[in-house]
Amino acid sequence: MIRGTRGCLPCLAPFSAASAPHQPHSRRSFQSGNMTSAQSQAKLSPSVAEAGDSLSSLPLFKPSLVIFDKDGTLVCFHTMWNSWCEQLASRMKEETTKEVSTELYSMLGYDQASKRVRMGMLAEKTHPYIMEKVVEMLMTEFKFNKEEATEVMDKTWKDTPENMQIKSTGNLGLLFKTLKEQDIKIAICTSDSREGTEEFLTKLGLESMVDLVLCGDDKDSISKPNPHNALFICEQLSVCPSKTIMVGDTPADTIMGQAANLGLTVGVLTGVGDNKDLSDADLIVPEVGDIIDLVTASEKSEMVPKVSKNMRITGRGLSKIVSQSSIDK
Ligand SMILES: [Mg+2]
């Protein structure tokens, strides 16, 4: 059984988006200036060039579904959550008369000095999970008993920032419209609450283009990187996992994509994760709008993904290409 097919034998292309440019008819979309295909590959990654002709026999990859993470992927994480962290610390101080910000920020992964959220609980975990950990922190660091700590949590927690600021990471309207034109379904899988997620979709006018939303506090949700949410979304939308792309900014997203054997797992650099953090992705792109290049057909009759020179194929992605190539031979 080819990895990622999960019984969906008609869609035998767990990963070939990056390889498609090696098809003769797709060279136009891949080449830059007078560069040959091999030269273009070398510019992307020396490893891709080394893989050489082994990539040329791979089938084209036409996705049927793209699952997006929200915070850090579709919206600027820092704009939205910095004020939320500081508001929560302020409410807790008011409620307890204790300065809890140092311990709270450390636990959440918020750097007050730089006003940046780094890799940590806030970037990766659901609100119910974080609330549980904040209660534990109040008990261990500030000697509240469980009842007192839970009461503080209940009185001070809010799922969304006051006066929520939403700054998108790109032209999401264009991105979603392009996907819909290609008959590709769109899902959002986020650790954020349903309240905050629906507010985001409403404010940006994107609701009508999204086929399914799964939030951290939904009863059907199991926290990333468990593959459950990705597989649940595929099942709900009747799409084979191997025809699905996962896009996210943290290891929780990329590990979930791989654990669910999705066709392609893409990391984006607009959130908290850097190239090293996103090494479990197959492909790393500067921002979510680059997904358009992966799904835009350059010829009417065929889906030919284009790999831009600013995309980076990871070691994991490369080994997936090579293993797929050897299966195909
Ligand atoms: Mg994220």
Q: Per the structure, how many domains does the chain have?
A: 2
| Lowest-confidence region among 214-218, 277-281, 299-303 | 299-303
Q: Is residue 253 part of a domain?
A: yes
Cα of 77 from ligand 1 centre, angstroms: 7
Q: Is 219 exposed, middle or buried (0-12, 13-18, 19+ CB in 10 A)?
A: exposed
Q: What is the DSSP letter of 275?
A: T
Cα of 268 from ligand 1 centre, angstroms: 9
Q: What is the DSSP letter of 38?
A: H
What's the CATH number where 266 sits? 3.40.50.1000
Final residue of a domain: which of 103, 129, 156? 156
Express each pLDDT in 180-195 by its tens digit.
999 999 999 999 999 9
**For all residues of the chain together, what is the average pLDDT?**
82
Judge whether residue 12 has pLDDT over 50: no
Regarding whether 194 and 98 lie in a shared domain, the answer is no
Regarding whether 226 and 206 lie in a shared domain, the answer is yes
Regarding whether 111 and 61 lie in a shared domain, the answer is no
Cα of 328 from ligand 1 centre, angstroms: 34
Cα of 71 from ligand 1 centre, angstroms: 4
Cα of 123 from ligand 1 centre, angstroms: 6
Cα of 72 from ligand 1 centre, angstroms: 4
Regarding whether 87 and 69 lie in a shared domain, the answer is no
Higher pLDDT, 253 or 297: 253
**pLDDT at res. 155:** 96
Regarding whether 214 and 152 lie in a shared domain, the answer is no
Regarding whether 106 and 45 lie in a shared domain, the answer is no
Q: Is residue 149 part of a domain?
A: yes
Three-state secondary-structure class, residue 303: coil
Q: Is residue 161 part of a domain?
A: no
**pLDDT at res. 39:** 46
Regarding whether 133 and 186 lie in a shared domain, the answer is no
d(Cα 273, Cα 40) in Å, to the nearest integer? 26
The answer to whether the beta carbons of residues 62 and 243 sit under 8 Å apart is yes
Cα of 136 from ligand 1 centre, angstroms: 24
- All residues with CB under 5 Å from ion ligand 1: 69, 71-72, 249, 271
Q: Is residue 14 part of a domain?
A: no
Cα of 210 from ligand 1 centre, angstroms: 18
Regarding whether 83 and 201 lie in a shared domain, the answer is no
**pLDDT at res. 201:** 96
The answer to whether the beta carbons of residues 221 and 229 sit under 8 Å apart is yes
Express each pLDDT in 46-102 by its tens digit.
544 554 555 444 445 789 999 999 999 999 988 889 999 999 999 999 999 999 999
d(Cα 200, Cα 196) in Å, to the nearest integer? 6
Tokens linked to 122: 């806030």
Regarding whether 85 and 66 lie in a shared domain, the answer is no
| Angle between helix 228-236 and helix 251-259 axes, rounded to 10 deg | 60
Regarding whether 254 and 175 lie in a shared domain, the answer is yes
Region 110-122 average pLDDT: 92
Judge whether residue 196 has pLDDT over 50: yes
Q: Is residue 265 part of a domain?
A: yes
d(Cα 177, Cα 296) in Å, to the nearest integer? 12
Regarding whether 185 and 69 lie in a shared domain, the answer is yes
pLDDT band at 300 (very low <50, low <70, confident <90, very high): very low
Q: Is residue 286 part of a domain?
A: yes
User: Residue 225: is the preceding peptide bond cis (ω within 30°)?
Assistant: yes
- Domain span holding position 99: 77-156
Q: What's the angle, vertex CA 43, arms to CA 41 and CA 44, rounded to 5? A: 65
Cα of 193 from ligand 1 centre, angstroms: 13
Regarding whether 102 and 61 lie in a shared domain, the answer is no
**pLDDT at res. 33:** 36
Cα of 23 from ligand 1 centre, angstroms: 34
Final residue of a domain: which of 94, 128, 156? 156
Q: What's the angle, vertex CA 58, arms to CA 55 and CA 63, rounded to 5? A: 120
Final residue of a domain: which of 99, 123, 156? 156
pLDDT band at 320 (very low <50, low <70, confident <90, very high): confident
**pLDDT at res. 165:** 84
Cα of 86 from ligand 1 centre, angstroms: 19
**pLDDT at res. 307:** 60
Per-state percent for the chain, helix, strand, coil, to nearest 5: 45, 10, 45
Judge whether residue 269 has pLDDT over 70: yes
Q: What is the 3-state secondary structure (H, E, C) of 243-257?
A: HEEEEECCHHHHHHH
User: What's the pTM?
Assistant: 0.76
The answer to whether the beta carbons of residues 57 and 235 sit under 8 Å apart is no
Cα of 120 from ligand 1 centre, angstroms: 11
